[in-house]
Amino acid sequence: MNALEKIESAAELVYRHMAPTPQYRWPLLCQRAGLEVWVKHENHTPIGAFKIRGGLVFMDNLKKQRPEVTGVIAATRGNHGQSIALAARIQGLKTVVVVPHGNSVEKNRAMRAFGADLIEHGEDFIEAKDFAIDLAHRKGLYMVPSFDPQLALGVASYGLEFLRGAGDLDAVYVPIGLGSGICGTIMARDALGSRTKIVGVVSDRAAAYALSFEAREAVSTNSANTMADGVAVRVPDPAALEIICKGAERIVTVSEDEIKSAMRAYYTDTHNLAEGAGAAPLAALLKERDKLTGKKAGVVLSGGNVDTAVFREVLAEA
């Protein structure tokens, strides 16, 4: 199969468990930005984030390639963990998820609801991941990475939907956690032969991928202390970085205030909830609106799983 056929095959697998998500052009967002803006609503998946697409494809492949596996483990800040828990449950596998202390209370509840055994360990994602790797060895569990070609292949299905459904987009803004979202979008763009420019977005408090993109090599940071937990990464994945460096136009950093403003804009202009990482692409588009005059741009609303207390504070800051 060629690249497009592989993504379409992955999409067919995804659609056994969820419908394609919509893409809408919201007039108030267009007025705010001063250009035509299309939103890809990955907040409308069964877990409220795009990650489920990758999880479904990864788990299906794991079941076929490693039928002896009976349990999996993953480290996460939330959405990856929800994806793995739901996809593993579909395949009849036990799931253990490790999150850092202080993780989103409501994401933790959701992961447990999907059937995961939840363990809190460490101060950030990297410490949680290291513990999960050690536990995988000790308990005989299969360690599910946060970036993998199968994850990106599944995620590419939303890129296919978006680029086909919204027409000729000049640019698409995508948040970067460990990279499956932007890599999947790049894969879909290239498979379609589209000229759409893919722009990555990170928090300025978790700028590892922006620094790495500029240096063209992995650059880690000492911390990733951002309220946008979906992009709170301080150590880039080398395989993801290679794809991003080849296929992304640029990476934009946005501030906490810009992210919060975009969260409020989604609520007032579309009445959709956006978590920090989900709102980051809109924050970047609004930051670069002067560059986009007369253009047609897309943003990926990749997560709507914001804790009630956090969102209340964001709204109160308006």
Structure-derived torsion over alpha carbons of residues 268, 271, 273, 274, reported in degrees to the nearest 10: -60
Domain end position, chosen among 111, 143, 175: 143
Q: Tell me if 282 sits within 8 A of 22, measured CB to CB.
A: no
Residue type for 241, please?
L
End-to-end CA distance of the chain: 50
233 burial type by CB count under 10 A (0-12 exposed, 13-18 middle, 19+ buried): buried
Map tokens 């002067």 to a residue: 290
Q: Are residues 15 and 33 in the same domain?
A: yes
pLDDT in tens, 285-302: 999 999 999 999 999 999
Domain end position, chosen among 143, 175, 192: 143
Residue type for 201, please?
V
Looking at per-residue confidence, does 220 or 223 come out higher? 220
Residue-number span of the structural domain to which 279 is assigned: 3-50+149-316
Full-model pTM: 0.95
pLDDT in tens, 115-159: 999 999 999 999 999 999 999 999 999 999 999 999 999 999 999
Q: How far is Cα of residue 281 from the mean position of the Cα atoms in its chain?
A: 11
Structure-derived torsion over alpha carbons of residues 284, 287, 288, 292, reported in degrees to the nearest 10: 100
Residue 209, beta-bridge partner list: none
What angle is formed at CA 259 by the lines to CA 255 and CA 260, rounded to 5 degrees? 115
Q: Are residues 83 and 31 in the same domain?
A: no
pLDDT over threshold 80, residue 318: no
The Cα–Cα gap between 245 and 282 comes to 22
Q: Are residues 167 and 285 in the same domain?
A: yes
